[in-house]
Amino acid sequence: MMKANITVLPGDGIGPEIMSAALQVMRQVGEKFGLSFDVNEQLMGGCSYDAYGTPLTDETLQACYEADAVLLGAVGGYKWEKLEHHLKPEAALLKLRKSLGLYANIRPAKVYNSVLDDSSLKKEVLSGTDFVVLRELTGGIYFGQPRGHDREKGWNTMVYARSEIERIARKAFEIARLRKKRVTSVDKANVLEVSQFWRDVVAEVHGDYPDIELTNLYVDNTAMQIVREPRQFDLILTSNLFGDILSDIAGMITGSLGMLPSASVGEKYALYEPVHGSAPDIAGQNIANPIAAIRSVAMMFSLSFGLSKADDLIEKAVERTLAQGRRTADIFSKGLTLVNTQQMTESILENVETIFQSEYAEKLTL
Ligand code: IPM
Ligand code: MN
């Protein structure tokens, strides 16, 4: 059996509960595909601030450098909102992304038929939606210099180096190649020079990928198009700030933020985390939706360990569980079965077993 080192950062709020769910699925599925795990658990976020006075210690960062993959629950909460900028849990997340060089953030927005009714959009508009937001994660206005504020003004800088645009554009075309081969690059080139430059560089890189269709859209128009006709998109490529905003829109239309996973990858490291936040209001009650965290583990199987079969198995088990009517409170509606975090997890684990026995076990031994 192969062994992988995973650094686990449960974080704050519901982080620890959903992480415990995700780890159960990780171990059970890993075993089926010959992968076992050494888990190194570390503090990060508000809990780290409470224990050590900093949201990200060198020890935690070191543990991430040493891991084959990092799993993150969620960080933040009201409790730490008033801290100075660099002590906030969010600052730790940004530092972690930058230190690990996680320049590509992959956020799939796929709609499950069984939760079509949970969306704020009409079924007819939504059904069949399946796209990915690929967000540049270590550049742009999030990190640009100069930045700051004094009593009279505040400022930030949206800046992109050619090399930063080139590598995220390549990533976009490569992911699109495995999908429907359509990239929509999103910018604000009618107003911002940095966006015009982005558009030019993306077009150059596109020269190496003639089999992929490239379209450019302005970010305001894209926001509108996502709610108007989401099916038109396959892969949305965009910068850090625009991707932050668009991925929340994309997340909402699919019905529940509680179900969306994400992967942040670089040349060397990879980190997987739910798109949703730490939901401090429901923390510790065993009612949070573990699906985003579980599907983040699924992404880890295929992107970090090349086990796309394990990824599929988890996705199918989640889908079947939803089809069986099991729902945590955030996606519950009348006539369905209300379950808590642990029950949802057990149900997914049972489906993992049944689906594996009927669809995978035989083929593996052949
Ligand atoms: C996200 C979050 C973060 C971001 C915050 C918590 C720093 O909103 O991952 O989308 O803005 O990138
Ligand atoms: Mn965000």
For residue 90 and ligand 1, the question of a CB distance below 6 A is answered with yes
pLDDT digits (tens, 9 = 90+) for 217-236: 999 999 999 999 999 999 99
The catalytic residue among 142, 160, 269, 272 is 142
Are the beta carbons of 357 and 319 closer than 8 angstroms? no
The answer to whether residue 78 is catalytic is: no
**Confidence at residue 112, expressed as pLDDT on a 0 to 100 scale:** 86
pLDDT digits (tens, 9 = 90+) for 156-182: 999 999 999 999 999 999 999 999 999
d(CA 326, CA 333): 10
Evaluate if residue 365 carries a pLDDT over 80: no
> Binning pLDDT at 50, 70 and 90, where does residue 363 land?
low
Quick one: average pLDDT of 249-260? 85
pLDDT digits (tens, 9 = 90+) for 35-75: 999 999 999 999 999 999 999 999 999 999 999 999 999 99
- Assign 55 to helix, strand or coil: coil
**Percent of the chain whose pLDDT exceeds 70:** 99
C-alpha closest to that of 182 among 237, 247, 137: 237
Are the beta carbons of 73 and 273 closer than 8 angstroms? yes
Domain 106-257 has CATH 3.40.50.720: no
For residue 93 and ligand 1, the question of a CB distance below 6 A is answered with yes
Amino acid identity for residue 66 in this structure = E
Average pLDDT, the chain: 95
Name 2's bridge partners: 35
> Binning pLDDT at 50, 70 and 90, where does residue 366 land?
low
The residue to mutate among 56, 88, 93, 137, having the most atoms of ligand 1 within 8 angstroms of its beta carbon, is 93
pLDDT digits (tens, 9 = 90+) for 97-155: 999 999 999 999 998 888 888 788 899 999 999 999 999 999 999 999 999 999 999 99
**Confidence at residue 308, expressed as pLDDT on a 0 to 100 scale:** 96
- Assign 136 to helix, strand or coil: strand
Residue with tokens 């956020």: 107
For residue 248 and ligand 1, the question of a CB distance below 6 A is answered with no
**Confidence at residue 116, expressed as pLDDT on a 0 to 100 scale:** 84
The answer to whether residue 88 is catalytic is: no
**Confidence at residue 252, expressed as pLDDT on a 0 to 100 scale:** 87
If you measure from the C-alpha of residue 242 to the centroid of ligand 1, how many angstroms do you get, rounded to a whole number?
12
**Confidence at residue 204, expressed as pLDDT on a 0 to 100 scale:** 98
The catalytic residue among 188, 272, 311, 330 is 188
**Confidence at residue 291, expressed as pLDDT on a 0 to 100 scale:** 97
Are the beta carbons of 246 and 219 closer than 8 angstroms? yes
> Binning pLDDT at 50, 70 and 90, where does residue 258 land?
confident
Quick one: average pLDDT of 277-305? 97
Are the beta carbons of 297 and 20 closer than 8 angstroms? no
Cβ neighbourhood burial of 277 (10 Å; 0-12, 13-18, 19+): middle
Cβ neighbourhood burial of 60 (10 Å; 0-12, 13-18, 19+): buried
C-alpha closest to that of 292 among 10, 21, 11, 6: 21
Residue with tokens 């990858």: 265
Domain with CATH 3.40.718.10 in the chain: 1-103+266-366, 106-257
Residues in CB range of 357: below 8 A, 6 or more apart: none
What's the CATH code, domain 1-103+266-366?
3.40.718.10
The answer to whether residue 188 is catalytic is: yes
Q: Which residues of 118-128 are buried (b: 16+ CB within 10 A; e: fewer)?
A: bbebeeeebee
d(CA 197, CA 81): 36
**For atom 3 of ligand 1, which residue has the closest CA?**
90
> Binning pLDDT at 50, 70 and 90, where does residue 1 land?
confident
pLDDT digits (tens, 9 = 90+) for 195-215: 999 999 999 999 999 999 999
* Tokens encoding 313: 């198995």
